[in-house]
Structure 1
Amino acid sequence: MGQPAAASPVAPPSGRTGLLVVPAVLVAVALVVGGLLSGPAVLGLVLAVAGLIVLVAFQATLWSRQRRLAGDLQRSQSSFRTLVKSSVDPVVILDGGLRVTFASQAIADLLGLDPACAVGAPVVAAVHPDDRSAVLDALRGSPSESGELAVRTARARHADGGWRLIQATIRDLRADPDVGALVLYCRDVTPRVPATGIDPDLHEFSLTDPVTGLPNRAALVRRLGAVQRGAGGPFSLALLRISGLATEILAPDTETAVLRALTARLTRALRGEDWLARGTDGDFVVLVVGSTADAEVVAARLVAAVGPVPIPGGSLRLSAVAGVTTLCADADTGETLRRGDLALRSAATAGPGSVHRYDDALCTEEDRRATLRTDLTGALARGELRLVFQPVVDVVMHRTVSVEALLRWRHPLFGDVSPTEFVPLAEESPLITDLGRWVLREACATIAALGDAGPHDQALSVAVNVSARQVRSGELVPDVIHALETSGLSPSRLVVEITESVLLDDSHVIEDLTVLRRLGVRIAVDDFGTGWSSLAYLVGMPVDVLKMDQYFLSDVEHDPARRAMCRVVLQLGASLDLPVIVEGVTNEAVLTLLRDMGHRYVQGYVFARPLEAAQLAAGAWDMSLPLPGALPEIPAAAS
C-alpha cells in the first residue's frame, strides 16, 4: 500500500506586500486600458478602479489595526507576567484543563520544586488524595464578579516527601484578555505547636505516601539513619524504577489505582524481613536484610513482578529496572541513597529488566555527567554546539525530500558527546527550551540559505525536534514564527517533530499545534508506535507525518511479528492519508524489505550519515541515489 507524496512546499505571500501591490497594479491597468477606451467606458473603469482602491485601503487599515491590537495584547500580557514573577507569594497559573502553565519562582520555597518542572503537570498532582475532590470543586466553581472563586486550604506534598498545609486564593481571570487563565495565590499555613514544632496529625501524614500507604522518603531517611547507627546487619538497599506509567496522561484516579496495584504486587514479592518505601520521583526503595548479593536477588524478583496492569479500556504495559548497594560505615544516609541512585541510572541505561550493582566506577561516570551538566549551560555561547542534517529519501522518486536537523556537541575536554548523553541532561532544566529555540532559528536559517529552487523543482524541507518542555511552555508558536520571519523560510518547508505523549497533552498544546498548521508548518509524530498512539488518538489531531521508530526494525529481516508491525504502521498512515517516514535504516536488506512493503520515505545510514552545514550548502543532500535493485513505482494514496 502506498503513501501520499509529501506536499510541495509553496511559500505563502506576505499579506502586507499584497495589499501594497494591488493598488499599483490597478492604477497601471486603468492607465493602459483607459488609453484604449473613451467616453463613458473610461468613466466606468475609473470608478471601478477607485472603488477597488478604497476597498484595498480599508483592508490595509484593518490589517494595521489588528497588528496594533495584537501588539497591545502582547505588551499587556508581558506586564502581567512581570507582575506575577515579582510577587512575594507563590503564584500558579492554570489552563482550562487545570494543568500548570506557569509557576513563579517562590514555589521553590513553598514546595521545594523547580517552577519549570511544575509546568504541564495537573495542579492536583501534588495535592493529598483526600483533599483533591474539594480542590477540584473549588477550581470548577462559578466565579464571582470580582473574579475570586474561593479560598481553599489543602495538603500539598513537598519535595522532601513531607506535607505542607497550603492556602490558595483562586481567581478566575479567564475572561480577562490579558490573562485568560485561572490564577492561584498561595501561602504556607502549616500549623505549628510549641512542643514539637508541627501539628501531630500533619506529622503523621508527613511520613506516609498518600497514594500507596507506604513509608515515604522522609520515613526512609529516618529508618536508614537508625539502621546505620545501630548494630547488626549486614543491610543493603534496592531501588526500583518503573517505566510506562505515563502519569502525565493517566487520569488521577487511574494513576492511583495502578500504583496501589503495583504496590500490592511488590509487597507480595518481598521477604518478610524486608522493608518497602517510596523514594523520590516515584521510585520504590527496599531496605534488604542481607548482603548486596541478597539485594540483587530481591531486586530481580521485584523487577519480574512488574508487568501489565489492567486499566479502563485496556492494560498498561509496565517494566522496571533496579540498582542495589550496601549500607557501609563509610557512607552516611545521603551518600548511600546517592550510590543506589547511581546503580539505578546505570540499570536504566542498560534497558528494561536490568539490575545493576553500585561500584566506584559509577562515581566517575556521575562526575562526568556533573561536568557535562555544568558545561552545557555555556556551550552555546562558546560555539561548541552545531547542527547536522540527516537526509530523508523518497525511494520512489529517487530523491531527497527533506532533512532532519540534529544537535551535536563537541566538548573541549571530552570531544564529541553523544546526544543520548547530553540531551537528557538539558531536558532536566529550562535550558532545553533555550536550546530548542536556537535549533529552530539555526535550522530555518540554514535551509533558507539554500534558496527556494531545488532539483526536480522540489525545495528542501527541514524537520526540527521540539521537547515536551518547549511545547508546554506556551512559547512554541512565537518561537516558530520568529525563526521563520528572521530566516525568510516558507512555513511549508518546516516540519515540527513532537513525541506521542506531547500529542496527547492538554488542550493548549493541541491549540498551539493547530495554529502552526494554519501557518503552513507541518507536524510530525516522532517515534510513532512506541507509546500510546492509536487510530482513535490520531483522528482529528493536528498531524501531517508519522515517523516510525527504528525499534520496529530490530531483527525485522527474521522476525515475522516485527514485519507485521511495520505493515500495520504503514497501513495506519495510509488510512489517515499521512506519509510514514521510517527511521534508522542501516542496510540494503532492510531497505529492500521496507520498499517491498510499500514504505516510501526512508531515513538512515543506508543513504548517508548526517551532513554538516557546509556539506549541505555544497549540495551534498542532492544525491543521485545508488539504490539497490530496480525500484517499482508505488502509487500514492488518494489525497
Structure 2
Amino acid sequence: MTENLDPIGSSADLPIVLVVEDNPVERQLVGKILRNANFEVIAVDCGEVVLDTVVNYQPDIILLDALLPDIDGFDVCGHLRAHPKGVYIPIIMLTGLDDVSSINRAYEVGATDFFTKPINHSLLVHRIKYLLRARLIMDQLRMSKQSLASAQQVAKLGHWELHVEKGRFQVSEEMHRLYRLDGAYEESDTAVLMERCHPDDRQHLQDSLIASIRDLREARVEHRIVFDDGTERYLEVHTTVMQDEGDGSTHILGISIDVTDRKESEREILRLAYCDRLTGLPNRSLLESLLEQAIPRSHLNGGAVAILGIDLDLFNRVNNSMGHSAGDAVLQQLTERLNTLVNCADVGLYLERLSMSIESNLDDIATDMVSRLAADTFIIAMTGADRNSGEVERFAERVKASFQQPFLYRGQELFVTASIGIAYSESGSSTAESLLQKADLALHEAKMQGRNEIRAYSGDLVAKVSTHLSIQSDLRKALQNGEFQLFYQPKISTRDASVKGFEALIRWVHPVKGLVPPNQFITVAEDTGQIVEIGQWVIETACRQNKQWLDEGLVNVRVAVNVSARQFKEGNLIEVIESALASTGLKEENLELEMTEGVLMSDPSTGDTLSELRSKGIAVSLDDFGTGYSSLSYITRFPIDTIKIDRCFVQDITIDSEKAAIVSAVSNLSHGLNFNVVAEGVETETELDVIRQLRCDEVQGYYYCRPMAAQDISEWLRSRSAVTSLKSAK
C-alpha cells in the first residue's frame, strides 16, 4: 500500500522522502516528523512496490526497513541499485539489527547509511539533510564529470594525473579510447603513456615528461601513437604542475589531444607551401631551408655542399609542338629518374618535421635532395661533397647520360637534352642564395656553350655576367644614338657566279668598346626583348638599302633579314614588314626572311604568320640547317623556299668525306621538295668545287666576299659590273 501519493509538483520545491516501513505506527510517526521538517513524504508498507514507486515519483532519498513482510529489505536495496533510476538515490537502511554482519550486508547491497531502531527522530532528520546535501554535491560532480567526459570525447581529449609523492597514476576514460588501452594497469606505472608511442618519438616523449616531473614545469610535446593494425594517430600532450593547498602534495596533470586531423591539414598546407604541385618535389623554399642547415654542417665535417643546376634545353618546343600535357609527362618522368639517381629522403619526412616546427632541424633526415625550382629547372643538392675528388662531376655526367633515354608520351618517344651547372659552397658561412646564384651562372654558361653541356662555376663567370649587364644597359642607348650598322654579304650562284641576293648582318659600333660582335649582344637583346625594336630597324634599313640598289640599277635581288622568335611572339611582325615595304617602296619579291629551326618551333602560330607573308610574295629561308632538329619531313609543314646548310658541314669538305655525303643528301632531298639550297661558309676554291658538284644552288662565304657596309657593297657591285662589261667587250 502506498500513502500520500500526491502528484509530484504539488510541493515541487520540497525534497521527496520515500519511507518503506511495514509497521503502520512507525510509518505514520516518521512521516509526520519529516513533514514537520519540510519534506514531502511518500510511504509504502511492502517491498514489491518500491521499485515502481521510485520510477513513478523519483524520490530524493529512501528510508528502507531491513525487515519487510514480503521481500527482504536488503534484496530491495540490491534491486534498486541495479536499476538506472535507483543507482544514485541515497538509501538509509532502518534496522533493529546492530550486528556487524548486518551492517556489512547493508553496505554490500549498496546502502548509503544505516539507522538502528528505536529511531532517534531528531538525529534522523539531520542525517537526511546531510545526505541530501551530499547527494546534491555528488550529482553536480557527476554531471560535471559527464559533461567533461562528453566534451573530451568530442574533442578527442584525454587527461591523466600523477601524484608525485605517492606515485599514483590515473587516466580518464577518453585516454583509454585514445590509446586503445586494454585491461587494467598499475597505478604507479606511467609507462602506460609509452605503450602506444611510435618508436621514433618515444625517447623525445619520455625525456619531455621526465624533465617536466623533475623540474616541476609545464611542457608541450607532439608524438605519434601506433596501433596493432599499423594505423597512426598524432597526439599533442600538455603537462602542468599543481600543488595541493591542503596537504602540499605535488600533482602533474596531463592532457593528451588527438590532433591527427589538424596535422593532416597542416601537412597539406606545408605541402602546398614547400612542394611543387606537378612533381611533388621540394620547391625553392624547402631547398633553401635544407641548404642553410647543410652548408655549415658539411664544412664542419670537412666537406662542402655541391649544387647541380639542371635545365632542359629548348623545352618550350615540346610544349609548343605537342602541348603542355606532353611537357608535364617529361617533367614527371625526369623526376622519377633523378630520384633513382639521388639518395634522398621522401619529402613526407621533411613535412613531418616541419609540422612539428617550422624551424625544425632538417639536416639529419637525408644527405641529398632533388628540387624543382622553375618550369624546367631542377636542382640536386649534394651534402658532404669533396670538391677535389671529381665525384660530383662524374655524377653530373651520369645525370647527363640519363637523358639519352627517351621520354614517353602516348606511345611516342621524346628526346630532350639538358644543360648542367655545378657550384660548391665556399665556406660554412655561405648562404643558400649565393650558392644557387653560382649554380645558375654555371648553368647559363653551359647554355651559352651550345647546350647539352656541363659547366662548373668559376670566378670569371661573374665578369661575364657583369659584361652581360653592361651590354644590356648600353643596348638601350645604341639604337637612339645610331650605333648600329648593317653589313651585307652576297649569295652567289654556283652556275654562273651571279649575285642572287644579300644577307643583312647587324653590327654594333660602340663609342667606347668599338666593334661588338653579334654573338655578344644578340642573345642579350633576345633575353631582354630589345631584339623586337632592333629587328624592326634592321628590316626598315635593309629594305631601304635594297631599294636604293634597285634604283641605282646595281642589282635586282632579294635582301634577307634574320628574324627572331621574340619578333614572332610580339604578334605584329606582318604589320612591321608591311610598314617597312610601304615606307621604302621595296616590293615584296625583293625581301626574304631568314630564321633558324628553333624559331620555327618556338610558337605554334609561327607557321600561320609565315604562310601569310609568303602569300604576299616574301621568301622564307631556313638558316643553319643541320644544327637543330634537321628533319626535312618536319619542315615540310612550313612554307619554306630555301635551305641554308650550316658552315660546319662546308668547312674543309672533300668529295669523299662524310660531310659531302650529308650535303649531297640534303641537297637532293631539298631539290625533291623544290627548295633552293645555299651552302654557307665557303672560303676556298676547293670547297666551292665540291659544293658545286653536290648540286648546291648558291654559296655564301669569304671566297667571294666578306660582309661589308652598304657603301662598300655598292663599290663591289660596280666593280663586278665593270669586269663583266670588259669580258663582254672582248
Corresponding residue for residue 311 of structure 2: 241
Report the AA paired with residue 325 of structure 1. A
Q: Identify which of 404, 407, 423 aligns with 1:325.
A: 423
Corresponding residue for residue 431 of structure 1: 530
Equivalent residues of 2:295, 2:430 under 8 A apart: no
Corresponding residue for residue 201 of structure 1: 268
Report the AA paired with residue 574 of structure 1. H
- Cα deviation, residue 437, structure 1: 0.6
- Cα deviation, residue 616, structure 1: 1.9
- Cα deviation, residue 581, structure 1: 1.3
Equivalent residues of 2:333, 2:407 under 8 A apart: no
Report the AA paired with residue 687 of structure 2. V
Residues 298 and 540 of structure 1, relative CA distance in 2, 3 Å threshold:
closer
Report the AA paired with residue 421 of structure 2. G
Q: Describe the superposition over 1:540-577 as per-residue Cα deviations: whole angstroms up to 9, x where unpaired.
A: 53222222222433664388443332122212221111
Equivalent residues of 2:567, 2:573 under 8 A apart: yes
Partners of 1:579 and 1:213 in 2: CA distance: 50
Report the AA paired with residue 283 of structure 2. N
Aligned pairs for 1:538-617 within 5 A? 538-539=635-636, 541-553=638-650, 556-557=653-654, 560-617=657-714
Partners of 1:570 and 1:453 in 2: CA distance: 35
Report the AA paired with residue 264 of structure 1. E
Report the AA paired with residue 304 of structure 2. P
Aligned pairs for 1:9-28 within 5 A? none
Corresponding residue for residue 23 of structure 2: none
SS of 1:450's equivalent? helix
Residues 259 and 333 of structure 1, relative CA distance in 2, 3 Å threshold:
same
- Cα deviation, residue 376, structure 1: 0.9
Q: Identify which of 364, 388, 413 aligns with 2:512.
A: 413
SS of 1:618's equivalent? helix
The answer on 1:267 being equivalent to 2:339 is yes
Larger-gyration structure (1/2): 2
Equivalent residues of 1:492, 1:522 under 8 A apart: yes
The answer on 1:464 being equivalent to 2:548 is no
- Cα deviation, residue 396, structure 1: 0.6
Q: Identify which of 447, 468, 471 aligns with 1:348.
A: 447
Aligned pairs for 1:306-325 within 5 A? 306-311=403-408, 315-325=413-423
Q: Describe the superposition over 1:440-475 as per-residue Cα deviations: whole angstroms up to 9, x where unpaired.
A: 0011111111125656xx503200011111112111
What TM-score comes out, normalization by structure 1 length?
0.62
Residues 605 and 315 of structure 1, relative CA distance in 2, 3 Å threshold:
farther
- Cα deviation, residue 531, structure 1: 2.9
Query: When the two structures are aligned, how many residues end up with a matched partner?
Result: 429
Partners of 2:324 and 2:604 in 1: CA distance: 17
Residues 223 and 410 of structure 1, relative CA distance in 2, 3 Å threshold:
farther
Residues 274 and 478 of structure 1, relative CA distance in 2, 3 Å threshold:
same
Aligned pairs for 1:147-296 within 5 A? 201=268, 203-228=270-295, 230=297, 232=301, 233-245=303-315, 246-247=317-318, 248-270=320-342, 273-280=367-374, 282-289=376-383, 290-293=385-388, 294-296=391-393
Partners of 1:214 and 1:310 in 2: CA distance: 19
Corresponding residue for residue 537 of structure 1: 634
Partners of 2:499 and 2:540 in 1: CA distance: 22
Report the AA paired with residue 325 of structure 2. D
What TM-score comes out, normalization by structure 2 length?
0.54
Residues 359 and 569 of structure 1, relative CA distance in 2, 3 Å threshold:
same
Partners of 1:514 and 1:416 in 2: CA distance: 37
SS of 2:281's equivalent? coil
Partners of 1:459 and 1:417 in 2: CA distance: 31
SS of 2:556's equivalent? coil
- Cα deviation, residue 265, structure 1: 3.0
Q: Identify which of 590, 594, 600 aligns with 1:503.
A: 600
Partners of 2:482 and 2:672 in 1: CA distance: 45
Partners of 2:678 and 2:432 in 1: CA distance: 49
Partners of 2:686 and 2:580 in 1: CA distance: 39
Residues 522 and 352 of structure 1, relative CA distance in 2, 3 Å threshold:
closer
- RMSD across aligned C-alpha pairs, in angstroms? 3.0
Residues 466 and 360 of structure 1, relative CA distance in 2, 3 Å threshold:
same
Partners of 2:532 and 2:469 in 1: CA distance: 20
Corresponding residue for residue 491 of structure 1: 588
Residues 336 and 607 of structure 1, relative CA distance in 2, 3 Å threshold:
same
Residues 624 and 322 of structure 1, relative CA distance in 2, 3 Å threshold:
farther
Corresponding residue for residue 362 of structure 1: 461
Partners of 1:625 and 1:249 in 2: CA distance: 51
- Cα deviation, residue 308, structure 1: 4.3
Report the AA paired with residue 548 of structure 1. I
Equivalent residues of 1:299, 1:322 under 8 A apart: yes
Corresponding residue for residue 619 of structure 2: 522
- Cα deviation, residue 335, structure 1: 1.7
Report the AA paired with residue 397 of structure 1. D
Report the AA paired with residue 430 of structure 1. G
Corresponding residue for residue 450 of structure 1: 549
Q: Describe the superposition over 1:117-154 as per-residue Cα deviations: whole angstroms up to 9, x where unpaired.
A: xxxxxxxxxxxxxxxxxxxxxxxxxxxxxxxxxxxxxx
Report the AA paired with residue 518 of structure 1. S
Report the AA paired with residue 235 of structure 1. V
Residues 498 and 459 of structure 1, relative CA distance in 2, 3 Å threshold:
same
Partners of 2:670 and 2:587 in 1: CA distance: 25
Q: Describe the superposition over 1:266-318 as per-residue Cα deviations: whole angstroms up to 9, x where unpaired.
A: 33333564322223452221111213343223222222222141446764343
SS of 2:399's equivalent? helix
Residues 585 and 210 of structure 1, relative CA distance in 2, 3 Å threshold:
farther
SS of 1:374's equivalent? helix
Structure 1: gaps (5+ residues) = 1-194, 627-639
Equivalent residues of 2:651, 2:681 under 8 A apart: no
Q: Describe the superposition over 1:307-353 as per-residue Cα deviations: whole angstroms up to 9, x where unpaired.
A: 14144676434333322222134542222211112222233333455
Q: Describe the superposition over 1:79-122 as per-residue Cα deviations: whole angstroms up to 9, x where unpaired.
A: xxxxxxxxxxxxxxxxxxxxxxxxxxxxxxxxxxxxxxxxxxxx
Q: Describe the superposition over 1:46-98 as per-residue Cα deviations: whole angstroms up to 9, x where unpaired.
A: xxxxxxxxxxxxxxxxxxxxxxxxxxxxxxxxxxxxxxxxxxxxxxxxxxxxx
Partners of 2:449 and 2:610 in 1: CA distance: 34
- Cα deviation, residue 611, structure 1: 1.0
- Identity percentage of aligned residues: 30
Partners of 2:501 and 2:376 in 1: CA distance: 40
Corresponding residue for residue 301 of structure 1: 398
Equivalent residues of 2:488, 2:505 under 8 A apart: yes
Residues 612 and 217 of structure 1, relative CA distance in 2, 3 Å threshold:
same
